[in-house]
Structure 1
Amino acid sequence: MRRPIAALCAGLGLLAATFPALAVEPFVLQDIRIEGLQRTDPGTVFGALPFRVGDSYTDEKAAAALRALFATGLFKDVRIEIDGRVAVLVIEERPVVESVSFAGLHEFDKEQLLKSLKDSGIGEGQPFDRALIERAEQEIKRQYLARSLYGAEVVTTVTPTQRNRVAVTFTMSEGESARIRGVRIVGARAFDEDTLTNLMDLAPSNWLSWYTKNDRYSRAKLNGDLESLRNWYLDRGYLEFAIESTQVTISPDKQDIAITVTVREGQRYTVTGVTLAGDLLGKDTDFERLVTVRPGQPYRATDVTETVKAFTDLYGSYGHAFARVEPRTEIDRENARVAITLQADPQRRVSVRRIDISGNARTRNEVIRREFRQLESSWYDSQRIKLSKERIDRLGYFKDTSVDTNEVPGAPDQVDLDVSVSEKPTGSLMLGMSFSSADKLAFTASVKQDNVFGSGNYLGVELNTSKTARSLVFSTVDPYFTIDGVSRALDLYYRTSRPYNSLGDQYQIATPGAAVRFGIPFSEYDTVYLGVGVEQTHIGSDAGIPNQYFDYRFHYGARSTAFPLTLGWSRDSRDNVLAPNAGRYLRANAEWSLAGDVRYLRTNFQAQQYIPFWQKFSLGLNAEVGLGYGLGSRDYPVFKNFYGGGLGSVRVFEQNSLGVIDPTGAYIGGAKKVNLNAELYLPIPGSGNDRSLRVFLFGDAGNVWKASDPIELSSLRASVGVGLSWVSPVGPLRLSWGRPVRYEPTDRIQRVQFQIGTVF
């Protein structure tokens, strides 16, 4: 006869508790049996038991066994019964989730939500737990609130199915997003309300809110906006500015939101003096040079923060990783003055014991370590660590990179650097098409891997089928061909092109070739590129061939072989490659062919400058000069000509239509090119701080000349107009409309132009 020894009050869903119904004297177990298992492996049960056959059985061990079994989360009820000297475990398994589905889901991606639920313990094949379901409901509601869907409801339905399984269905009633209908700032006197609300990302609904979504309330966004207000005042001398209250009011129907911010400005303070105090390591002049706070000027928190950071970085460059610089203010409210004292304490100097790297499941350790300029067993240098992090970020392999400094227990003069990276996909398979006013419909395909096999090497194959330029390119780059950081790039390509507006449908220029380039780092920011290549250019049949191509083919043959040497340099300090607002880009390239059938020198110089100014306006300037020369007794090859006109050159003029026009009507470019562009970027009303969509005014000038003609400014073509720039999901898109200012009657005018993929 079985005797029940312990049971779980499982219906309460709490911790396992044992209730001895009939205490037994300890005895030696002869056998252990399990009843009620359907899916769980018996080994899981036996592995959780604190006793085995042949062990002494006690009530204490029984209670421990029940706690261990319930801790697995697999069982709804467990009890132990004694049959003679045999322990019988009677088990009722929890239901298993057979499926998870959603009804009424529109706001979130289904696959991402399924993955999130599975990570939380709710997924197909996992034990069903009502408590987890309730927590999931609350988390989904919280996510809806974060998207301003305050009326959203989530109802969970659990449907039992065969073999002790359940189907879980989350039914969503999302409703409409609540929109911000008004933002008020109360208490402002020094600045008008419109000026202050324009500093905020959150704004009432407007004609562009469908794109910017700045009318959707978010606590995180509001906190950021409040910080922007605070910085605005602190940078203009209002040292005692404070945000006294923030009220967010939701209408009864949960569709409208009103935000009211109450501020206290205080008075404006002027800096009377800046004093340096503490241990400056005997380098007082170096520290004084870093002070950007100027006496006689209004107090600016940004200047104080930048000075403190500059001090900390300078201390760090001397090995003082834990230096403290505290700005102290002495306020004279009666005269609205403030004196600033920078109290510095370098603390101890430390060295780096070890650099540990984590998070790189794919990328090899050496790929990250070779970017580090801070070495192990050397003095801590914050400048080298900052540079190391920047170099790792520039690899493009990681979403996130952090470098933490940790003290070494028992070694106060040593620290460890923990480098944590979060990898992102570095390969791409692209199949698509593009359309432009010049090339019409073009198909493209490419397979690229920036970090092949985690080695840091690049491998890519590209195909382009545009009307005027078709290509098949195979490329590979080894960024550390040598241990000193010299890179090597190999290219194999086959390109075809036809002069724009060529009359012959069968006519084309075919250029197969190969090249190798080496990048030699001369500094952390400057790299010089040297290369050599071989290419053969075949000028096609006579059908529709332009006269200048015919003449070149007549004098030098249909096939021309060249061995060009290349030399290049570039420096890029723009704050954003696709939508720059500040910074500079410089580039110089030269292609020099001294051997083979073709002898020429082709140079290209480009400079870009972006200047932010008043509020959210910015100015972009671009200048580009291209020069080509024939060497020896040979003419400059016509198939190496520069082209001008259209987007990326002089807008309003048809793409590649500037320069020499062949008697056949083909635009064949020229050996000299000048291109000047200016763009004034304007903030779009309602766009907030978003820069992916911008309107700009432009003015362009430029032209192309043949080798025998001088560059004359009087022959420059010019245009002005307005454009729209959008960083779209498929690449940068630019649309422009304008009119010519300087032109000739024979020029081809195209007032509206657009293209995907061009930047300037």
Structure 2
Amino acid sequence: MMRSVSRHLPPRRLLFAAVMYSFLGVVRAEELHVVSDIRVDGLRRIAMGTVLTYLPIERGDTVDSTKAAAAVRALYKTGFFEDIRLDRQGDILVITVQERPAINTLKVTGNKDIQSEDLLKGLNENGMAEGDTFNRLVLDKMGQELTRQYQNRGKYNVEITPTVSRLDRNRVDVEIAIKEGKAARIQHINLVGNDKFADEDIIDTWESAEHNWLSWYRRDDQYSREKLSGDLEKLNNYYLDRGYVDFNIDSTQVAISADRTDMFITADITEGDQYKVSSVQLTGDTVLPKVELEKLVLVSEGQIFSRRLLELTSDSVVATLGNIGYAFAQVNPVPDIDRESKTVGISLQVVPGPRVNVRQISFKGNTRTNEEVLRRELRQLEASWYSQAAIDRSKIRLQRLGLFESVEVDTKPVPDRNDQVDVLYTIKETSSGEFQAGLGYSQDDGITATLSLTQRNFLGTGRTFSANVTRSSTSERYGFTVAEPYLTDLGVGFSYGVNWSKTRYDSDDESSYDSQQGSVSTSATIPLSENNALTVGLGWDTRTLYLYDGYYPPSYLTFLDNLGTNRIDSWTLRSGWSIDTRNDLLTPTGGAYYALSGEVALPGSDVTYYKLDADLRRYWRMGPTLLLARGEFGFGGTYGDGDQIGYPFYRGYYAGGVGSLRGFRDNTLGPCEYVTYYNDCRPTGGRIKTLAGLEVSMPGLFGKAAHGTQLAWFLDAGNVFAGTDTIDGEEVRASTGLSLRWRSPMGPISISYGLPIRQKEDDEIERLQFTFGSQF
């Protein structure tokens, strides 16, 4: 009987020793023998049939040393065994094996830079998963791969420590402990050979940057091989966009300090000479009249050569052809370089490819939303010519529903067909239903108790249903609203609602007064074009005002005296026109929203008045920042009998606070009147509102996980005025500061810190302002 081979030998020696001992055992009695039977000892998890499947020896075979060696190699190659021994008992071939242990649990700890799901997925793809056979070589190889990945992220101090714990029944627990350490910081970037441009101008757009005072936020000083590769491409583009056709990066050196915490980057470059464009021509099959495509060419003779303008030209031509069905169109710029005259002739070869139609449009991820809700937003239709503009527009319309966190679109060619594609929209649904019962706080109403139910996608139909009850120290509100966005196939929407509220006077809110009111309203939204919509609504409201002499501004009491009653009933007609080109409803990063609206109390109402309002917002994405410019304008007046009664003060405009001019106390700006009880001038509201603002925000400050969270610098300006004859530029107020909007798990929070930069002596200043538990 042979002795087993030590499992502690290196794999190659182990195999060699096992084979040699096997040779001795098999051929000891005779050089050749016929195998009458095969027995495998030591199996626990591996089936006998599995071993025989891989074994190149069968019953009746004649075995010699060559076949014995091949058998051992074949069984080791399966990866199932740590030790293999071949013996002979008469004519029976006895194979004794020791199985590799099975992985009971696999755990990764200490990782932050790379998500656990990604790490486990990579381990699984390489044969390291719970239930698999444990292989130390695979574990060591994965440790080396993880180290490489972290070093690519600039973390050269990373420590990967795998621990294997033996269990009973030939099992092991595997734990990979990761100590990531800190990313090495870039201390210096040095460009050698740049005479035409300064270092700071070239590297201004790089993702990599030298350590600076903003590095804690930008993290641009953290070295990464991928980032540097992209930055070197930007370096190349920088010169090619400025005509340096012969530009070359001769070498790149990255040095690291002895303690592996500081990086030093050096790039040696050759700038070469600047070239101009000698000629530009479109060639190939342009499909459309050549004159139409030539209008899209941004490069002209005599210009300094620019690869960026060539790429923009190619993209424009491809997009134009893509909108008429040529989904695979290409434009290949072919340069003709004349190094003697320092010029470049450019031939733009148009290759349209086959005209393509869309075979099928499908959706993925809509577990709650009916497909009808999605399809009615599509502008690309099945069995019609492919249009990239229509596909992109469909994506934006889906995003503007406000029901999805993200929408992605993918176009896939149909197998064996070059004239058809399938379009797949992958959506990630966000919570469209809310049931809220809790407490909130705002500086207007103090502590607020709220019970509300809102479903913006009722039963997956896209309809909105909401009901709410709100009570605070100064108010009670009850109501419900139902909205149907597609009453007809043409996209006409319809909504109605009923509300009742009771407001009590609060000395901290200088615009408040005692009142009770109820209202019923209906409205219809009629789309006029892709981005334009008309809204028409009719409502009835009744309110009862409780005002006392000496406690309220004299104009309030005069209004009720002229009216002759403290109950006011009104029929109101509302209409509006809006243009909405925003790319997202909840967190827009581009586009605009312009809305004009009007409200008029119809003849027969107790008070006949009208209001005109404008709300203008424009968004620009500028690198990592978002710029918002906004303006709000309003004008109110009376007609008919309302001229004698006066403009209803409860429909007046107010300014100051989070919603208008931050840094000033809520509703304290604008006209005011002396009130005897307070011996003070109390705000009365105005008939004219002028507000404007700028915001520069950083949407990605808190990462992708904090979707909808923004930190912004703002500049607010404006005021409200009693009438046109009181408008005075000296009365305009302005403030600046920072604001944070956060959709926290406990509810929306808006915090701002404003510093008035234009104010009057009597203005009430309130720098820190916030709301919790209300929408922003």
Classify the TM-score, shorter chain. 0.7 to 0.9
Q: Measured at CA, do residues 146 and 305 of structure 1 come closer, stay the same or move farther in structure 2, by a change above 3 Å?
A: same
Question: Which residue does the alignment assign to 2:393?
Answer: 387
After superposition, where does 1:89-238 map in structure 2 within 5 Å?
97-100=103-106, 130=136, 133-134=139-140, 137-138=143-144, 140-142=146-148, 144-145=150-151, 147-162=153-168, 164-238=170-244
1:427-462 deviation line (CA, Å, top 9, x unaligned): 476789877776677787877665555544455667
**Structure of greater Rg:** 2
Give the distance between the partners of 2:293 and 2:656, measured in 1 at CA: 52
Kept after mapping to 2: 8 A contact 1:566/1:589: yes
Question: Which residue does the alignment assign to 2:728?
Answer: 714
Kept after mapping to 2: 8 A contact 1:507/1:542: no
Paired letter, 2:274: R
After superposition, where does 1:185-334 map in structure 2 within 5 Å?
185-281=191-287, 283-334=289-340
* Deviation at residue 214 of structure 1 after TM alignment: 1.6
Give the distance between the partners of 2:309 and 2:474, measured in 1 at CA: 53
Give the distance between the partners of 1:436 and 1:105, measured in 2 at CA: 40
Q: Measured at CA, do residues 196 and 605 of structure 1 come closer, stay the same or move farther in structure 2, by a change above 3 Å?
A: same
* Deviation at residue 190 of structure 1 after TM alignment: 2.0
Question: Which residue does the alignment assign to 2:672?
Answer: 661
Say which SS state the counterpart of residue 307 (structure 1) adopts: helix
Give the distance between the partners of 2:500 and 2:143, measured in 1 at CA: 57
1:287-315 deviation line (CA, Å, top 9, x unaligned): 22222224443333332222212212222
Kept after mapping to 2: 8 A contact 1:656/1:667: no
* Deviation at residue 324 of structure 1 after TM alignment: 2.6
Kept after mapping to 2: 8 A contact 1:648/1:759: no
Question: Which residue does the alignment assign to 1:403?
Answer: 410
Is residue 415 from structure 1 mapped to residue 446 from structure 2 by the alignment? no
Give the distance between the partners of 1:448 and 1:49, measured in 2 at CA: 62
Say which SS state the counterpart of residue 664 (structure 2) adopts: coil
Across the two proteins, how many residue pairs are aligned to each other?
Answer: 721
1:669-695 deviation line (CA, Å, top 9, x unaligned): 534233243548699xx99xxx99877
Paired letter, 2:732: A
* Deviation at residue 627 of structure 1 after TM alignment: 1.9
1:451-491 deviation line (CA, Å, top 9, x unaligned): 55554445566777788787666555544333223334455
Paired letter, 2:612: T
Paired letter, 1:262: D
Give the distance between the partners of 1:434 and 1:234, measured in 2 at CA: 57
* Deviation at residue 539 of structure 1 after TM alignment: 4.2
Question: Which residue does the alignment assign to 2:689?
Answer: 674
Question: Which residue does the alignment assign to 2:652?
Answer: 641
Q: Quote the RMSD (CA, aligned, Å).
A: 5.5
Paired letter, 1:254: R
Say which SS state the counterpart of residue 305 (structure 1) adopts: helix
1:63-109 deviation line (CA, Å, top 9, x unaligned): xxx9999999999999999xxxxxx9999887565555566556667
Question: Which residue does the alignment assign to 2:68?
Answer: none
* Deviation at residue 255 of structure 1 after TM alignment: 0.8
Q: Measured at CA, do residues 494 and 109 of structure 1 come closer, stay the same or move farther in structure 2, by a change above 3 Å?
A: farther
Kept after mapping to 1: 8 A contact 2:575/2:597: yes
Equivalent in 604, 608, 616 of residue 607 of structure 1: 616
Residue range with higher mean Cα deviation, 593-602 or 541-550: 541-550
After superposition, where does 1:494-505 map in structure 2 within 5 Å?
501-502=507-508
Kept after mapping to 2: 8 A contact 1:626/1:674: yes
Paired letter, 2:308: T
Give the distance between the partners of 1:77 and 1:476, measured in 2 at CA: 73
Give the distance between the partners of 2:190 and 2:43, measured in 1 at CA: 65
Q: Measured at CA, do residues 25 and 324 of structure 1 come closer, stay the same or move farther in structure 2, by a change above 3 Å?
A: same
1:21-72 deviation line (CA, Å, top 9, x unaligned): 8976799xxxx999977xx8xxx97998999xxxx99999xxxxx9999999
Question: Which residue does the alignment assign to 2:763?
Answer: 747
Give the distance between the partners of 2:550 and 2:105, measured in 1 at CA: 66
Paired letter, 1:399: S
* Deviation at residue 155 of structure 1 after TM alignment: 1.0
Q: Measured at CA, do residues 331 and 669 of structure 1 come closer, stay the same or move farther in structure 2, by a change above 3 Å?
A: farther
Kept after mapping to 2: 8 A contact 1:578/1:732: no
Q: Measured at CA, do residues 644 and 120 of structure 1 come closer, stay the same or move farther in structure 2, by a change above 3 Å?
A: farther
* Deviation at residue 534 of structure 1 after TM alignment: 4.9
Give the distance between the partners of 1:650 and 1:478, measured in 2 at CA: 35
Give the distance between the partners of 2:514 and 2:61, measured in 1 at CA: 93
Residue range with higher mean Cα deviation, 229-238 or 183-192: 229-238
Q: Measured at CA, do residues 460 and 217 of structure 1 come closer, stay the same or move farther in structure 2, by a change above 3 Å?
A: farther
Is residue 625 from structure 1 mapped to residue 633 from structure 2 by the alignment? yes
Kept after mapping to 2: 8 A contact 1:604/1:625: yes
Question: Which residue does the alignment assign to 1:371?
Answer: 377
Kept after mapping to 1: 8 A contact 2:154/2:225: no
Give the distance between the partners of 1:356 and 1:250, measured in 2 at CA: 51
Give the distance between the partners of 1:575 and 1:354, measured in 2 at CA: 25
TM score, norm. by length of structure 1: 0.75
1:83-140 deviation line (CA, Å, top 9, x unaligned): xxxxx99998875655555665566677887788789876767765546644654454
1:374-428 deviation line (CA, Å, top 9, x unaligned): 222223333323323333344452535123151552x55x312231415243447
Say which SS state the counterpart of residue 402 (structure 1) adopts: strand
Percentage of identical aligned residues: 31
Paired letter, 1:748: E
Kept after mapping to 2: 8 A contact 1:74/1:93: yes
After superposition, where does 1:77-92 map in structure 2 within 5 Å?
none
Give the distance between the partners of 2:762 and 2:371, measured in 1 at CA: 61
Paired letter, 2:387: D
Give the distance between the partners of 2:135 and 2:147, measured in 1 at CA: 19
* Deviation at residue 360 of structure 1 after TM alignment: 4.6
* Deviation at residue 714 of structure 1 after TM alignment: 1.7
Equivalent in 318, 333, 351 of residue 345 of structure 1: 351
Q: Measured at CA, do residues 296 and 165 of structure 1 come closer, stay the same or move farther in structure 2, by a change above 3 Å?
A: same
Q: Measured at CA, do residues 428 and 556 of structure 1 come closer, stay the same or move farther in structure 2, by a change above 3 Å?
A: farther
Paired letter, 1:606: D
1:271-297 deviation line (CA, Å, top 9, x unaligned): 344322233335233222222224443
Say which SS state the counterpart of residue 198 (structure 1) adopts: helix
After superposition, where does 1:51-70 map in structure 2 within 5 Å?
none
Question: Which residue does the alignment assign to 2:574?
Answer: 566
Give the distance between the partners of 1:556 and 1:242, measured in 2 at CA: 87
After superposition, where does 1:696-735 map in structure 2 within 5 Å?
698=715, 700-705=717-722, 709-714=723-728, 717-720=731-734, 722-725=736-739, 730=744, 734-735=752-753
Q: Measured at CA, do residues 580 and 468 of structure 1 come closer, stay the same or move farther in structure 2, by a change above 3 Å?
A: farther
Question: Which residue does the alignment assign to 2:594?
Answer: 586
TM score, norm. by length of structure 2: 0.74
Give the distance between the partners of 1:76 and 1:449, measured in 2 at CA: 60
Give the distance between the partners of 1:543 and 1:171, measured in 2 at CA: 76
* Deviation at residue 605 of structure 1 after TM alignment: 0.4
Say which SS state the counterpart of residue 313 (structure 1) adopts: helix
Structure 2: gaps spanning 5 or more residues: 1-9, 27-32, 63-71, 88-93, 703-707
Give the distance between the partners of 1:433 and 1:402, measured in 2 at CA: 40
* Deviation at residue 157 of structure 1 after TM alignment: 1.5
Is residue 355 from structure 1 mapped to residue 361 from structure 2 by the alignment? yes
After superposition, where does 1:533-548 map in structure 2 within 5 Å?
533-537=539-543, 539=545, 546-547=552-553
Kept after mapping to 2: 8 A contact 1:612/1:618: yes
* Deviation at residue 180 of structure 1 after TM alignment: 1.6
